[in-house]
Amino acid sequence: MSGLLSLLDVTVRFGGLVAVNKVSIDVQEGTIHSLIGPNGAGKTTIINSVTGVYSPSGGAIYFDGRPLAGVAPHQICRRGLTRTFQNTELFGEMTVADNVRVGMHGTAEYGLVSAILRSRRCRIAEAKISERVGELLEIVNLADQRGTQARALPLAKMRRLELARGLAANPKMLLLDEPAAGLRASEIEEMNATLLMLRDKLGIAILLVDHVMPVVMGVSDRITVVNFGQKIAEGTPKDVQSNPAVIAAYLGH
Amino acid sequence: MMDRRMVLALLIAGLVVLAAGPAFLSTHAIVLLTLIATTSIITSGLSIVTGLAGQITLAQAAFCAFGAYGATLMSSHAGIPMWVTIPVATVITAFIGYCLGVMSLRVEGHYLALVTLAFAGIVNLGILNLADLTGGAVGHAVEPFVFFGYPLVSPTALYYLSMVSALIALWGVSNLIRSRWGRAFNALRQSEVASMSLGVDVRRAKAVAFGLCAGLAALGGALQSLQTTYLDPVQFTILTGVSYLSVMVIGGLGRLSGAIIGAAIFVLMPDFLGAFKTYMGLIFAALLLGIIMIAPSGLGELVSRHRWFKSPEATS
């Protein structure tokens, strides 16, 4: 249990179906750790049990040294673990900037009465928030889209906006659920560069779930492979690529 | 997009007209404008809870009853002046709304609508059956509003009282909409799961929205009772609650201007129809259906290009 995020023998059962069976993963601080596996392997189930959407039937999950069992999703975010979604869950009717501002809801330092009276405290906090929005949009290269409605963005920009929105919550770790799915080659390169920048410049750890191998192999420090709910391999990209069990899982025997 | 100075100039001009209103308007017009002001306080609560947070409530009239009865009963039984009891009733009702929110927000959509419907029904039955306290079906006289020895009872006095209260309330609501709370309400309507994962306590936010909505209803209801001078349970039925929501659909749920337009329709339509009042249900239903078909975002969308809910940096 030395990592920033540790899963210890996590098991998730849905009735008689064992979706995840005794999986242990350790994500170290400041690293990019990928979780891969064929469709239905249990990747998204693992993510959902980490973020509190499901509660595991067995095992334990620790984040930053504290157990995550029974912690509500919004509390998990406030502890420094933020996620993105497989099919993007942006607030489509809000502007790009307001999407990012929602990410700062939990860290904004003013209360309800302050908000209603638009007190000095509220205005100062909002000015800070707007400034931070600019910085975050700069990071994901969306600074020129501040006022665009989120639903009007093309997919690649939506993905980057989700990233910026997640960063707004000031996380120690990001959980990215297929951030590169459906992206074109040039967009994938851009995504890789962004992920590496988050790790190297901001020191954010990333748990990445994806099928897109150019991303997984291009950015990961470590890779965990799951199949049918079991962990079948773990190691550096090189180790995993040459692992016979992994090749069998992807290509069949 | 109008520039800031233009908006400010229009705003000041509007305020001057409102302030000078009683000098050139008929008493009838003043009475109607007063009613629109108090009703817009009530409907602005719905722009928060239904328009922004996306929770349907049919209990708005019941919360008006809490404000109106609460203020008058506290005043007549304990002898506290109305200018104290109205804010107190508002705060207490907001708390009741918050509690109802906490209890009922485990259910969503149609089920939530039914819970609020049941709540509205219970409140109305309570008013009818607690006759010793509320006067039951006979009703109860409203205590006059006396401010340090100056009674505010004339239409003009009530006009200023209601107008100032409405402007302050709407100003507060528009501030709230632009704050982190407004954004959280807006976000949870669009994706609860994303809001949660970004640190928004969704259940608490919904309960807060309910509390604010109830508080605004209570304030509007209590101020309105000063004008009607008599509390009749018929004013606070489920049907009234449904009407508030319907006029909001016509006015536009998604923006604060919709609350004002909705309030104007709520007040002016019966007055405008006059002798044809019998057909009001029919005309109202036709208007509602027409709006849903032609302008689903409400009249606010058609009438004004100025988007209250849009942040100033919006481009499209």
Nearest chain A residue (CA) to B209: A112
Q: What domains can you pick out in chain A, each with its CATH number?
A: 5-251 (3.40.50.300)
**CB neighbour class for A241 (10 Å; exposed up to 12, middle 13-18, buried from 19):** middle
pLDDT, position B314: 54
Q: How many CA atoms lie within 13 A of B211 on its CB side?
A: 18
**Residue B167 vs residues A4, B62, B159, B174, B237: alpha-carbon distances, Å:** 51, 23, 12, 10, 27
pLDDT, position B36: 94
**C-alpha span between B12 and B292 (Å, rounded):** 34
Question: What is the β-pairing status of strands B140-141 and B230-231?
Answer: antiparallel
Tokens of B214: 């109830």
A-chain CB neighbours of B198 within 8 Å are: 74, 77, 82, 102-103, 105-106, 165-166, 168-169
Q: Which residue has 């000098």 as its token pair?
A: B23
Nearest chain B residue (CA) to A119: B175
Q: What is the DSSP letter of B276?
A: G
Distance of CA A120 to the CA centre of its chain: 35
pLDDT, position A162: 92
B-chain CB neighbours of A90 within 8 Å are: 191, 194
CB pairs under 8 A between A and B: 119
Q: Give the residue extent of every domain in chain B.
A: 29-237
* Mean pLDDT (chain A, rounded): 88
* Residue A21 reports pLDDT greater than 60: yes
Q: DSSP secondary structure string, B188-211? A: HHH-HHHHHHTT--HHHHHHHHHH
pLDDT, position A104: 92
> Quick check: A58 and A16 in contact, CB under 8 A?
no
H/E segment holding residue A12: strand A5-14
Q: DSSP secondary structure string, A33-74? A: EEEE-STTSSHHHHHHHHTTSS--SEEEEEETTEE-TT--HH
Beta strand residue intervals within chain B, DSSP E:
140-141, 146-147, 150-151, 230-231
Tokens of A196: 């590496």
pLDDT, position A110: 87
Beta carbons within 8 Å of B169's beta carbon, 6+ residues apart: B41, B44, B216, B219, B220
Q: What is the DSSP letter of B136?
A: G
Asked if A105 lies within 8 A of B175 by C-beta distance, the reply is no
B-chain CB neighbours of A166 within 8 Å are: 198
Q: What percent of chain A has pLDDT over 90?
A: 34
pLDDT, position B86: 93
Q: How far is A11 from chain B (nearest CA, A)?
A: 22
**C-alpha span between B85 and B234 (Å, rounded):** 23
CA B120, B122, B123: angle at the middle one, nearest 5?
A: 65
pLDDT, position A106: 84
Tokens of B290: 């027409």
**Residue A239 vs residues A29, A219, A227, A229: alpha-carbon distances, Å:** 21, 15, 17, 21
pLDDT, position B309: 43
> pLDDT, tens digit, for every residue of B173-230?
999 999 999 999 999 999 998 999 899 999 999 999 999 999 999 999 999 999 998 9
* Residue A49 reports pLDDT greater than 60: yes
Tokens of B54: 């996306």
Q: What is the DSSP letter of B310?
A: S
> Quick check: B219 and B173 in contact, CB under 8 A?
no
Query: Model-level pTM?
Result: 0.88
CA B187, B192, B197: angle at the middle one, nearest 5?
A: 90
A-chain CB neighbours of B310 within 8 Å are: 95
Beta carbons within 8 Å of A6's beta carbon, 6+ residues apart: A24, A25, A26, A27, A61, A62, A63
Q: How far is A24 from chain B (nearest CA, A)?
A: 23
Predicted-complex ipTM score: 0.88
> Quick check: A177 and A47 in contact, CB under 8 A?
yes
Q: Which residue has 């994938």 as its token pair?
A: A188
* Residue A27 reports pLDDT greater than 80: yes
Confidence of residue A109 (pLDDT cuts 50, 70, 90): confident
Asked if B316 lies within 8 A of A152 by C-beta distance, the reply is yes
Q: How far is A200 from chain B (nearest CA, A)?
A: 23
Residues of chain B with pLDDT under 50: 1, 305-306, 308-311, 315-316
Query: To probe the interface with A, which of B195, B197, B203, B206 has the most A CB atoms within 10 Å?
Result: B197
Name which of A78, A102, A169 is nearest B184 (Cβ-Cβ): A102
Which string of b and e fits A170-185 if b means at least 16 CB within 10 Å? bbbbbbbbbbbbebee
Q: How many CA atoms lie within 13 A of B20 on its CB side?
A: 7
pLDDT, position B316: 42
Which among A215, A150, A226, A222 is positioned nearest to A186, based on CA atoms?
A215
* Residue A22 reports pLDDT greater than 50: yes
Nearest chain A residue (CA) to B315: A147
Q: How far is A244 from chain B (nearest CA, A)?
A: 37
Tokens of A82: 């933020």
Q: How many CA atoms lie within 13 A of B84 on its CB side?
A: 9
Nearest chain A residue (CA) to B200: A74
Name which of B176, B186, B202 is nearest A91 (Cβ-Cβ): B186
Q: What is the DSSP letter of B53?
A: T
Asked if A74 lies within 8 A of B201 by C-beta distance, the reply is yes
**C-alpha span between A250 and A66 (Å, rounded):** 35
Distance of CA B62 to the CA centre of its chain: 12
Average pLDDT over residues A132-153: 91
Query: To probe the interface with A, which of B168, B180, B191 has the most A CB atoms within 10 Å?
Result: B180
Q: What is the DSSP letter of A211?
A: S
Name which of B187, B313, B315 is nearest A102 (Cβ-Cβ): B187
pLDDT, position B97: 94
> pLDDT, tens digit, for every residue of A195-217?
999 899 889 999 999 888 888 88
pLDDT, position B92: 96
Nearest chain B residue (CA) to A85: B194
